[in-house]
Structure 1
Amino acid sequence: MNYFETKRARIEIIPMIDIMFFLLVFFIMITLHMIPSTGVASKMPKSSTTTALEPPKVLVNVDDEGDITVEGQKLTAEALTVRLKAQGDPDKVVVTIAGEKTTSLQSMMKVMDACRQAGITQIGLAAHATEEAH
């Protein structure tokens, strides 16, 4: 009388685990592409002695009018100092300042002073390499 016995339904869990791992990897890859800090498009000055720096922890943009922007937020020099102090250990914070070609030296110095007041010593200036440097 085996013909009339009902079979118990089985849920196959292995394919479901494969799909979950695939989704996990997919979301991790998407998230990693979203993490790098994005700056404001600017025409940076050129230099023949540029060197590659490690990715900065904080990218500060200074436009030609002297406005300071960090991660899309306009800040004053004082607010920048407060924000940098909140980053934690100043020896581990790397700041890169990206300015326009026409940004005044005084505006750049204002940002550097704000960084130094926060205790930051690792400050870099962003520049494009000239063709001669390649």
Structure 2
Amino acid sequence: MKLRRSRASKRGRIEIIPMIDVMFFLLATFMLASLAMQRLDAVKINLPSGQAERLSEDRPLTMSIDPKNEIFIDHSLVRLDQVEGSIRRLLKADKNVVIAADDAAAQGAVVQAMLAARRGGAEHFLIAVHRE
């Protein structure tokens, strides 16, 4: 007499559909995370080329001057007469200001903005350049 097993042995199966769902979810998550790392709100300027050391990881106060000689302090448009007050309000303890002036910006506009920032309390100016 032959006895049958109470449980029939079955081979395990790997379901592929849930694994595809997980992979698409991970793909979408990494795509959104990489978009969040982009600086999409930056002022569009062409920096002059040069060699310079990298700054530390903390974000310093940035004053940008575009080709139309408009002044931006941390991506906010300000007039020349507002630069002093804005710098005084936003300046950090190290009193460093990064100047990111476009190649086509007038030298006089850059100097006037730097003088207004100096009156606002800035002590050290760092000039941003495009690394070669």
- Measured against the shorter chain, the TM-score band is 0.5 to 0.7
Give the 3 Å change call, closer, same or farther, for CA 107–88 of structure 1 in structure 2: closer
Provide structure 1 residue ranges, at least 5 long, that are not aligned to the other structure: 1-29
| Residue correspondences, number | 96
Residue 15 (structure 1) aligns with: none
SS of residue matched to 1:124: strand
**Higher-Rg member (1/2):** 2
Q: Which letter does structure 2 place at the counterpart of 1:106?
A: G
SS of residue matched to 1:42: coil
* C-alpha distance in structure 2 between counterparts of 1:52 and 1:64, whole Å: 25
Residue 39 (structure 1) aligns with: 42
Q: Is the contact between residue 59 and residue 97 of structure 1 (CA under 8 Å) also seen in structure 2?
A: yes
Give CA-to-partner distance per residue, 1:25-77, whole Å, 9 cap, x none: xxxxx8xx67x895212211101x32222344311110112110123321112
Indicate the percent of aligned positions where both proteins have the same amino acid.
Answer: 16
Q: Which of 122, 125, 128 pairs up with 1:123?
A: 125
* C-alpha distance in structure 2 between counterparts of 1:122 and 1:106, whole Å: 19
| 4+ runs deviating over 3 angstroms | none
Post-superposition offset of 1:78: 2.1
* C-alpha distance in structure 2 between counterparts of 1:88 and 1:42, whole Å: 22
* C-alpha distance in structure 2 between counterparts of 1:112 and 1:72, whole Å: 16
1:25-104 equivalent positions in 2, closer than 5 A: 38-47=41-50, 49-54=51-56, 55-87=58-90, 92-104=94-106
| RMSD (CA atoms) | 2.5
* C-alpha distance in structure 2 between counterparts of 1:127 and 1:38, whole Å: 19
Give CA-to-partner distance per residue, 1:93-134, whole Å, 9 cap, x none: 32111111111111110111011111211211110122xxxx
Q: Is the contact between residue 64 and residue 101 of structure 2 (CA under 8 Å) also seen in structure 1?
A: yes
* C-alpha distance in structure 1 between counterparts of 2:97 and 2:120, whole Å: 11
